[in-house]
Amino acid sequence: MLPGAGADRGAADYALVGAPLDASTSFRPGARFGPRRVRQFGQQFDDYDHRTDQHFTDCSVYDHGDIGPTADVAEYLTFLQGTLSDFDSEGAVPLLVGGEHTVSVAGVRALDPDVFVCLDAHLDLRESYAGDEYSHATVTRHALSVADEAMVLGARTGSETEWDRANEDDVTVVPPEDVADWTPGFDDQQVYLSVDIDAADPGFAPGTGTPEPFGLEPRELHDVVRAVAPHAVGFDVVEVNDRDDGQTATLAAKLLRAFVFAHADQR
Amino acid sequence: MLPGAGADRGAADYALVGAPLDASTSFRPGARFGPRRVRQFGQQFDDYDHRTDQHFTDCSVYDHGDIGPTADVAEYLTFLQGTLSDFDSEGAVPLLVGGEHTVSVAGVRALDPDVFVCLDAHLDLRESYAGDEYSHATVTRHALSVADEAMVLGARTGSETEWDRANEDDVTVVPPEDVADWTPGFDDQQVYLSVDIDAADPGFAPGTGTPEPFGLEPRELHDVVRAVAPHAVGFDVVEVNDRDDGQTATLAAKLLRAFVFAHADQR
Amino acid sequence: MLPGAGADRGAADYALVGAPLDASTSFRPGARFGPRRVRQFGQQFDDYDHRTDQHFTDCSVYDHGDIGPTADVAEYLTFLQGTLSDFDSEGAVPLLVGGEHTVSVAGVRALDPDVFVCLDAHLDLRESYAGDEYSHATVTRHALSVADEAMVLGARTGSETEWDRANEDDVTVVPPEDVADWTPGFDDQQVYLSVDIDAADPGFAPGTGTPEPFGLEPRELHDVVRAVAPHAVGFDVVEVNDRDDGQTATLAAKLLRAFVFAHADQR
Amino acid sequence: MLPGAGADRGAADYALVGAPLDASTSFRPGARFGPRRVRQFGQQFDDYDHRTDQHFTDCSVYDHGDIGPTADVAEYLTFLQGTLSDFDSEGAVPLLVGGEHTVSVAGVRALDPDVFVCLDAHLDLRESYAGDEYSHATVTRHALSVADEAMVLGARTGSETEWDRANEDDVTVVPPEDVADWTPGFDDQQVYLSVDIDAADPGFAPGTGTPEPFGLEPRELHDVVRAVAPHAVGFDVVEVNDRDDGQTATLAAKLLRAFVFAHADQR
Amino acid sequence: MLPGAGADRGAADYALVGAPLDASTSFRPGARFGPRRVRQFGQQFDDYDHRTDQHFTDCSVYDHGDIGPTADVAEYLTFLQGTLSDFDSEGAVPLLVGGEHTVSVAGVRALDPDVFVCLDAHLDLRESYAGDEYSHATVTRHALSVADEAMVLGARTGSETEWDRANEDDVTVVPPEDVADWTPGFDDQQVYLSVDIDAADPGFAPGTGTPEPFGLEPRELHDVVRAVAPHAVGFDVVEVNDRDDGQTATLAAKLLRAFVFAHADQR
Amino acid sequence: MLPGAGADRGAADYALVGAPLDASTSFRPGARFGPRRVRQFGQQFDDYDHRTDQHFTDCSVYDHGDIGPTADVAEYLTFLQGTLSDFDSEGAVPLLVGGEHTVSVAGVRALDPDVFVCLDAHLDLRESYAGDEYSHATVTRHALSVADEAMVLGARTGSETEWDRANEDDVTVVPPEDVADWTPGFDDQQVYLSVDIDAADPGFAPGTGTPEPFGLEPRELHDVVRAVAPHAVGFDVVEVNDRDDGQTATLAAKLLRAFVFAHADQR
Ligand SMILES: [Mn+2]
Ligand SMILES: [Mn+2]
Ligand SMILES: [Mn+2]
Ligand SMILES: [Mn+2]
Ligand SMILES: [Mn+2]
Ligand SMILES: [Mn+2]
Ligand SMILES: [Mn+2]
Ligand SMILES: [Mn+2]
Ligand SMILES: [Mn+2]
Ligand SMILES: [Mn+2]
Ligand SMILES: [Mn+2]
Ligand SMILES: [Mn+2]
């Protein structure tokens, strides 16, 4: 259980679900240990958040535990989507902890947002990767089957085809150097916020599957999470693995909490 | 390239193929780094083998490099099988380096042995695992579709169904405590020898996907490899990952060389 | 939760309690991560045990979670003792997972055995260590306040005073080289079995607070655990930390399961 | 010995004391290895400091070695305070290397400053933590028993009670984003400077007991150390452990040297 | 082979050479693993570079493999120089991957540039170090035997003698805080660009032999590499070792690719 | 200082000297950290040795610290030899802690034994290696320039030329499987005992430069050290590096102590 996430399911405003999928990681595997690491490195934080004057234990977060992957990824996503939809129906905002980025597909399908906002080094706009239509590199593409538009903040790499796709009207790419100045303008749109931890520079998040230099600073991720949270109907943080000294999971756990504090603050 | 494996393909007596499959590892992933690790930790050995009075560089080993997995494991195995069959036709004994144990299925299919001899902590006699018919836990089962019989040396765990299957006439299980006294009696049978490095005790091979205590000592593996090699038409060493300080890859690389020396010695 | 330990408290035959005390470790700290590591590295094992023809999930093990230490160790031990006594009253055999060896004091006090059997590199017969009467080096001494006699298997080091104390009639020391030949003769005595993982040679268990060379092989620990289990009213495995590649926790988790299988087999 | 700290005690202007206390670390232990790590990772630096045109070996630093903790922390702090007072009387500025932050209590008590300046992610203003009045989370509170005021630079987290306490007149909190613009105005006040390395972002200092994201950059710590040093009567750097690749100890060792160079430059 | 570096030697525009020299590393050895690490961590990058609209596989890079050191460093440098000269004659720009910084001496001698531009924490202007005239700390000094001038970007430490030498007309030192504003003005001068990865802050590049805090951010290195590349006749990246979680090699591999993209873009 | 090695030089019976040479390590460097590691992992042992009824602190061991290498290895060995000769003249038995095996050359030259007894996986009988006459692979050859004969216990690999040399009358090779039954018969010969830690199986000593499987168990090394010690005029333990979790240094430190206890016991 994530420390402080002791709410009962029935009464919860937020529902944390671990999704340790680790099937398509192309370089360094270990995303399956993400939920475990995030819970472990989320235990040393103060319960109190000075910025919003709230306690995490008062935010009514329920930890549902992990939903273990099966060999058929499509089936797994369907099952995961079902669980997240249930939480949505029950009035609890899902907090999904990956696992590889692919799990966001379940989140987006369950919550049907208007906008998919993603912090990511990668465009993830492929149709498939290495013959796999559910590769982590296809997430934003899948999201656009559901959402009207996608915004990828911190993106700095992709295939030529992905960049072409990113030029279309329904995709906004904010390169790392412009993220600090980015502000959301969502009006009444419902947003799904996905944090691929590789958006951060590898100096801050080396424990991830496909690290990409020249990324965001932690405070930039923090600012985006807090700015987007009030508009969000769902959240995930993904691509944390166990191949570092804990920096990555510490950052991920903190961003998850920052989401909850900022979201709860505007309820 | 494995140091010393500098033969040309046409002239080679042995053909090393890396098969970095890492799809079904159920616990600790990283088998994809096995070929890299084995090549790296195989570089500090003396070229000369005192026991057989041979030099590794004289054993005519060709290093074919790695054959990278694709998303469809069945397809991958078929392709891998084709490559290994080619080497067999060319007169080169395949030396397969995993990757997860599943790659042995390609080896067995390519070489069509009479007997499948396997050093393994696990029976690997499942029909499928977690919905995956090509899980690493199904290898011996697949091998029995090709070979007449299977011998699993060092086995100490399996499901109840696997142990039932192991009781049938075509399977011989030699528990760890009896391996030291085991001697092969193959007559003219052709043997495929598969070394799942988790046959060794985790103290000697911690860098593997599903470590299982109470295993073999390195010298016991060594003795088996040397005893079986003269009868072998193919060899693999699998389930080495990068999650240790190199012990596991060092042992695997040494066993591979021991196979070559013992096999070449009786040519 | 330890995989397979899904019994409800009321119906359980065994009750696992994590005790992440890490206060007196004199050399390498991290015993606090022992329960987490044992649960993590206990997840890849087969449910079925061939030796006793049982499934772990049928052994009715309840995982109570961890009881977190407080600053006052004496108070903590009293609280822990209370919990273990409760389980004992409820008919569930406690399975304590340390944390440092000091937690065994709570186990012994709760279960009031006739004999304290301990696998340990160290005598742990000090009155105090570095001014601390609850140091991990005092465990056997504390146990002798409760039990009539103590047996330390695999012991190979201690202070001169400890060795003098070990010469008295109520202590039996079995040095590592004699453990393989040791057999218990307990008649109707009730036994508490404590496994300090440093009994094993550091090659097999490097992840512990005070590693001591020239120790036991894993199979020797295994044999002792299975031989003693039928006589045991309580069990613990302690001194596992997170400073290795998982070998130590894997061994500890396996020994805990071996205890359950052997104990349940004679019920 | 810290390289370059070869002065004799009688003639020294600075006295380095290792204080490997590791008793109350609440999350990741290992602060006991801080002095060892700082000395090890302080050995590759050039002796010469271009900024102040000084050599470290000319700065007259004496390395007193470590003062090993005893089980009673209050007693240990009293002993440590005595040693530091002796150095102060002898005209040597103490350079304390932790160990956990608690050791600063001994430093402050020995040197009786007017102002306690602290680089820290945490307010450390608790009365006690987990029942421990000498927890690392109480340091600033203890310091305020001695000093007239406390300034915590880089603080970003604390309990609600700590933030309330921080609102009182004798505490100044400078959040991370304002540290770059902070300048000291100490007049003739005597200052004690304490560097809790977790003030730095975990990307730069992952090897610490309670990492907290969104922290300072190394240059910001550097600027504070150099600005405060001329006013300082004592210095410490604490909370470095051995759970990283050396980044944290390298930074800590460099900051300690920067303190010496800046302090010596104004003598 | 570096992924994407599949050009044939005869047709190549760039020739990558690994130079795993690890003889004079004064603190943490392992630079010999630099070429291996750079190739490994260079495999997860997209082939396409959006900034220059090029594919790496189209840039015609040939990977020559490693040239293994011999005991006599002077001889080794001569041999390495010969190889690099050959590539230069063949019209391929050498891309040297260290190994310790000393290998740059071979690069500079082979290519005879007008200007030696170096990203480095250290001045490397010693005549010798620890009695070794080919120490990594002498590289810029050796370069000045060939080039007319040297520019050291990001330098923050050196001996007093080195700083004196740096004051002469043929050396320009740009301290870390000024690198962001630095722009090259090379006219028609031929430049050799050497990237000692320790120019980066240890938070971003902990895996190096002599880490030095208060260094550059990855984007600053990136900007320099792209600005200098169009003027360069040769390139190296050095001092990457294997003592981290991959951050350093990832950054180095990315900078090497950035060099190729920027250089090819202006061809 | 090695814990317990607090004797003054003048009064010492044993003199420990660290020799962190790390020049010729052909595979994994880090032997330079051997003395540091041995001292660190030698600190958790009990002072008392039950087997010989002695305290280490009573054995009169002086720790001289390290003698740092210079670039010219021949010069370094001469200087080191001088220091060791001085200790010999003063009546203190040298205890040399490497560093690479090459440092034994200084030990043998200083002490001029009749017999060189070496625990080693390697014959170390080369004339030179990679052009280096002072490679670690030449140690036994150098020793035979001084001693009348050499015995290599646990040797299992070497070049063909080395094995030929080993066949001559002045060399005895005891393969690993025969070491348990080996007993010395030295009469009045003076012996130098050198422990290359790679004699142990890599499962027990992974932290070494050139690990070689199928080696000795720790108890076998222990027995040899105790059997030879009474005849020894000098001792070293070498080839420990920092690339493991401490197993190797723990074993090395214990063997060094075992030597002292056994030697002192017969004085
Ligand atoms: Mn992504
Ligand atoms: Mn990504
Ligand atoms: Mn298998
Ligand atoms: Mn297996
Ligand atoms: Mn104990
Ligand atoms: Mn113990
Ligand atoms: Mn603090
Ligand atoms: Mn703090
Ligand atoms: Mn340099
Ligand atoms: Mn440098
Ligand atoms: Mn040797
Ligand atoms: Mn050796």
Best of C26, C28, C129 to substitute, by most chain D Cβ atoms within 10 angstroms, is C28
pLDDT of residue C221: 98
What residue numbers of E does the annotated binding site for Mn(2+) cover?
A: 101, 120, 122, 124, 196, 198
Closest to C40 (Cα-Cα) out of C263, C258, C240, C222? C240
pLDDT of residue C71: 85
Which of D30, D70, D132 is closest, CB to CB, to C71? D132
Backbone angles phi, psi at D211, to 5 degrees: -65, 145
The owner of tokens 């991959």 is: E246
Stretch B161-190: mean pLDDT, rounded? Answer: 96
Q: Which chains touch C (3 or more CB pairs under 8 A)?
A: B, D, F
**Residue C137 CA to ligand 5 centre (angstroms):** 6
Q: What one-letter code names the amino acid at A5?
A: A
Inter-chain touch A132–B32, beta carbons under 8 Å: no
Stretch A153-168: mean pLDDT, rounded? Answer: 98
**Could you read off the pLDDT of F137-166 as tens digits, one per residue?**
999 999 999 999 999 999 999 999 999 999
Q: Which residues of F touch E23 (CB under 8 A)?
A: 23
Distance from CA of C94 to the nearest CA of D (A): 26
How do strand F14-19 and strand F61-66 relate by DSSP bridges?
A: parallel
- Positive or negative CA dihedral for A115, A121, A123, A128? negative
- In chain B, the residue whose alpha carbon lies closest to the alpha carbon of A243 is B243
Q: What one-letter code names the amino acid at E110?
A: A
The pair of structure tokens assigned to D200 is 């730095």
Inter-chain touch A158–E46, beta carbons under 8 Å: yes
Inter-chain touch F48–C203, beta carbons under 8 Å: no
Inter-chain touch F159–B245, beta carbons under 8 Å: no
Distance from CA of A133 to the nearest CA of D (A): 34
Ligand in nearest proximity to the CA of C122: 6
**Could you read off the pLDDT of D122-167 as tens digits, one per residue?**
999 999 888 889 999 999 999 999 999 999 999 999 999 999 999 9
Q: Which residues of E touch A206 (CB under 8 A)?
A: 244-247, 250
Residue-averaged pLDDT of chain E: 96
| Domains of chain D and any CATH numbers | 14-265 (3.40.800.10)
Stretch A143-156: mean pLDDT, rounded? Answer: 98
Count CA atoms within 13 Å of residue F213 on its CB side: 26
- Render D32-61 in DSSP notation, one character per residue: GGHHHHHHHHTSSS-SEETTTTEEGGGS-E
Distance from CA of B127 to the nearest CA of A (A): 14
The owner of tokens 């760039």 is: E14
Residue-averaged pLDDT of chain A: 96
User: pLDDT-based confidence at E129, cuts 50/70/90?
Assistant: confident
- Environment class of E26 (CB within 10 Å of its CB; exposed 0-12, middle 13-18, buried 19+): middle
User: pLDDT-based confidence at E218, cuts 50/70/90?
Assistant: very high
F196 marked ligand binding residue: yes
Inter-chain touch E50–A158, beta carbons under 8 Å: yes
**Residue F120 CA to ligand 12 centre (angstroms):** 5
Give A19's strand partners: A98
**Could you read off the pLDDT of C39-58 as tens digits, one per residue?**
999 999 999 999 999 999 99
Angstrom distance (rounded) from CA F49 to CA F42: 14
Inter-chain touch A202–E204, beta carbons under 8 Å: yes
Q: What angle do CA B36, B41, B44 make, to 5 degrees?
A: 140
Segment (H or E) for B144: helix B139-144
Angstrom distance (rounded) from CA A110 to CA C22: 43
How do strand C61-66 and strand C14-19 relate by DSSP bridges?
A: parallel
pLDDT of residue B132: 87
Segment (H or E) for E152: strand E149-153
3-state secondary structure of E183: coil
The pair of structure tokens assigned to A48 is 């109190």
Question: Is ipTM > 0.90 here?
Answer: yes
**Residue B242 CA to ligand 3 centre (angstroms):** 17
Which of D43, D46, D247 is closest, CB to CB, to E157? D46
**Whether the Cβ atoms of residue B49 and residue B127 lie closer than 8 Å to each other:** no
User: pLDDT-based confidence at D70, cuts 50/70/90?
Assistant: confident
3-state secondary structure of C37: helix
**Whether the Cβ atoms of residue E175 and residue E212 lie closer than 8 Å to each other:** no
User: pLDDT-based confidence at A71, cuts 50/70/90?
Assistant: confident
Q: Is the pLDDT of residue E195 over 90?
A: yes
Closest to D84 (Cα-Cα) out of D58, D112, D56? D112
All residue ranges of chain C with pLDDT < 70 are none
Stretch D53-81: mean pLDDT, rounded? Answer: 96
Buried b (16+ CB within 10 A) or exposed e, A99-116: bbbbbbbbbbbbbebbbb
The owner of tokens 């690493």 is: B136
**Residue D202 CA to ligand 8 centre (angstroms):** 11
Q: Which chains touch A (3 or more CB pairs under 8 A)?
A: B, D, E
**Whether the Cβ atoms of residue B231 and residue B184 lie closer than 8 Å to each other:** yes
pLDDT of residue E102: 97
CA-to-CA separations, E141 to D48, D101, E106, E136, F70, in angstroms, rounded: 18, 44, 13, 10, 21
The pair of structure tokens assigned to B243 is 């999650």
Q: Which chains touch D (3 or more CB pairs under 8 A)?
A: A, C, E
Tell me chain E's radius of gyration from C-alpha atoms.
Answer: 16
CA-to-CA separations, D197 to A37, D101, D202, E217, in angstroms, rounded: 22, 10, 9, 20
* Helix orientation angle between C218-228 and C247-265, rounded to the nearest 10 degrees: 30
List residues of C whose CB lies inside 8 A of any B CB: 41, 43-48, 50, 53, 55, 201, 203-205, 218-219, 222, 244-247, 250-251, 254-255
Chains A, B: CB pairs < 8 Å: 27
Q: What angle do CA C156, F155, F103 make, to 5 degrees?
A: 80
Helices (H) and strands (E) in chain F, counts: 8, 10
Which of A163, A177, A243 is closest, CB to CB, to E50? A163
Q: Is the pLDDT of residue D24 over 90?
A: no
**Whether the Cβ atoms of residue E217 and residue E235 lie closer than 8 Å to each other:** no
- Touch of A by F (3+ CB pairs closer than 8 Å): no
Query: SS3 string of F148-205?
Result: CEEEEECCCECCHHHHHHHCCCCEEEECHHHHCCCCCCCCCCCEEEEEEHHHECCCCC
CA-to-CA separations, B6 to B10, B237, D151, E169, F135, in angstroms, rounded: 12, 20, 66, 51, 26
A8 marked ligand binding residue: no
Q: What is the DSSP letter of F199?
A: G
User: pLDDT-based confidence at E130, cuts 50/70/90?
Assistant: confident
Q: What one-letter code names the amino acid at E27?
A: F
Backbone angles phi, psi at C156, to 5 degrees: -140, 0
- In chain D, the residue whose alpha carbon lies closest to the alpha carbon of E205 is D247
3-state secondary structure of E21: coil
Angstrom distance (rounded) from CA B212 to CA E175: 54
Backbone angles phi, psi at B242, to 5 degrees: -110, 20
Give F16's strand partners: F63, F95
The beta strands (E) that lie in chain A are given as: 14-19, 48-49, 54-55, 61-66, 93-98, 115-119, 149-153, 171-174, 191-196, 232-238
